[in-house]
Amino acid sequence: MNMNRKSFFLPALAATLLLGISFSCSKSGGSPNSGGGGTTPTGKDSILTNIGNNIILPAYASLNVAVNSLDSAIVDFNAGPSSIKLTAVQSLFKTAYINWESASEYDGFGPAYSNQPVMSGLNLFPTNTISIESNITTGNNNVNAFANASAKGFPALDYLLYGAGVNTLTAFATGAGATNRKAYLAAVSADIKAEANAALKGWQASGGNYIASFIDGTGNSVSSSLGLLLNSIVQDFEIGKNDRLGIPLGKQPPGQVLPVLPNEVEAYYSGISVQLALAQLKAMQNLYLGIGTQGSGPGLKDYVIQKKIAYNGGLLNDAIQSNFASAVAGLQAIPDPFSATIQTNAMPANAVYATYQQLVVLLKTDMASGLGVLITFGDNDGD
């Protein structure tokens, strides 16, 4: 069973923890502003300031609002299950899951990573339905037990809220084990809420104030904000290539001829796989461009532009922007449910996968190298 991020996240655990320790001890990471950004009137790196205040913090804030609304709706649903309440919960679940995709790029560093459990564990897919049903039968609601790593988070909610199809309401209202099922649903939701709330609080100036550390973390060392950010976003983007697309399309591991695996897609039960992939891709594109809730500002592209990094006789920035646009357009042309589409016409998805492969190389190799940032993990799939 494949589980999102686990394939190469855990082997890098010790190294990343050391990076976090290094960052907390020395915010500068390298010479001030080495690698690029201009400065704000306060002397701060304008790129990190915009990314932190205009992109990352709002992403966590939106996720926070969405998961709190979802959790409240689940509490209300459990108090008296009805079709109207179930529909409301399902709608709020989709909103929260999409908001997750806009924050997942940053869970490889900062509060989302230093907090326990790490927030990336909220989206290990495909979910383990056998473990979920066993937990419901036994009344085991300890979703953060090691054995339940793939029986929690958004994939677990995806199964609980959609897995029974037309019988979902019955399963929670009058079905065998309905009380335990409602308790497990509540436990999964409460855990998502707690982890998302803790991550936001850790970033906020009124909480852990990691935003100040992020903005002050100039330089391009592995422990600088740029180093931590690039490692986290490239790792998350490879999840998009490998887990969201590659495995369902039968392209992972590379070099083998495998059948399509429709049940391996993200959000298999709710059928919003493409919507989620598109949300993650657009969030990555906006981060690169510097587009946030307050409009456009300096983004990662500005580091690349300032360095005048060349690529194939042109400029790397042009190649990255072109490939982002192609990937977005390609995903927008693929209908959900992705699990059904790849069984009838996988060609458009294969084309998007090829664009993702190119983007991984551009971001992980060309951009990182051009900015002097060391990528400290590897997925060993040849990109």
Instruction: Give the single-character DSSP code of 247.
Output: T
Residue 248 lies in a domain: yes
Q: pTM value?
A: 0.90
For 293: left if phi > 0, alpha if psi spans -120 to 50, otherwise beta; the answer is alpha
Helix (H) or strand (E) run with residue 315 in it = strand 314-315
| pLDDT mean across residues, the chain | 90
Name the burial class of residue 166, with classes exposed (0-12), middle (13-18) and buried (19+) by CB atoms within 10 angstroms of its CB: exposed
Q: Taking the CA of residue 313 as centre, how many other CA atoms within 13 Å lie in the half-sphere pointing to its CB? A: 0
Judge whether 37 lies within some domain: no
* Domain assignment of residue 30, yes or no: no
Q: How confident is the model over 297-343, as pLDDT tens digits?
A: 999 999 999 999 999 999 999 999 999 999 999 999 999 999 999 99
At 296, list the tokens: 């456009």
pLDDT band at 10 (very low <50, low <70, confident <90, very high): very low
CB 292 within 8 A of CB 286: yes
In a domain, 1, yes or no: no
Residue 358: pLDDT band (50, 70, 90) is very high
Which structural domain range is residue 363 located in? 6-24+43-370
Helix 300-307 vs helix 273-289: crossing angle, to nearest 10 = 50
Q: What whole-number distance in Å separates Cα of residue 172 and Cα of residue 87?
A: 13
Residue 292, pLDDT above cutoff 70: yes
Within-domain flag for 253:
yes
User: CATH no. for residue 86?
Assistant: 1.20.1420.20
Q: What is d(CA 165, CA 49) in angstroms, rounded to the nearest whole number?
A: 46
In a domain, 375, yes or no: no
The per-residue pLDDT for 284 is 98
| CA 290 to the chain's CA centroid | 18
| Number of domains comprising the chain | 1
- 292 φ, ψ to 5°? -135, -165
Residue 377 in any domain: the answer is no
275 belongs to a structural domain:
yes
Pull the structure tokens for residue 277.
Answer: 């992939």
Contact residues for 204 (Cβ-Cβ < 8 A; gap 6+): 57, 211
Residue 142 and residue 148 in contact, taking contact as beta carbons nearer than 8 Å: yes
Confidence bin at 378 (pLDDT 50/70/90):
low
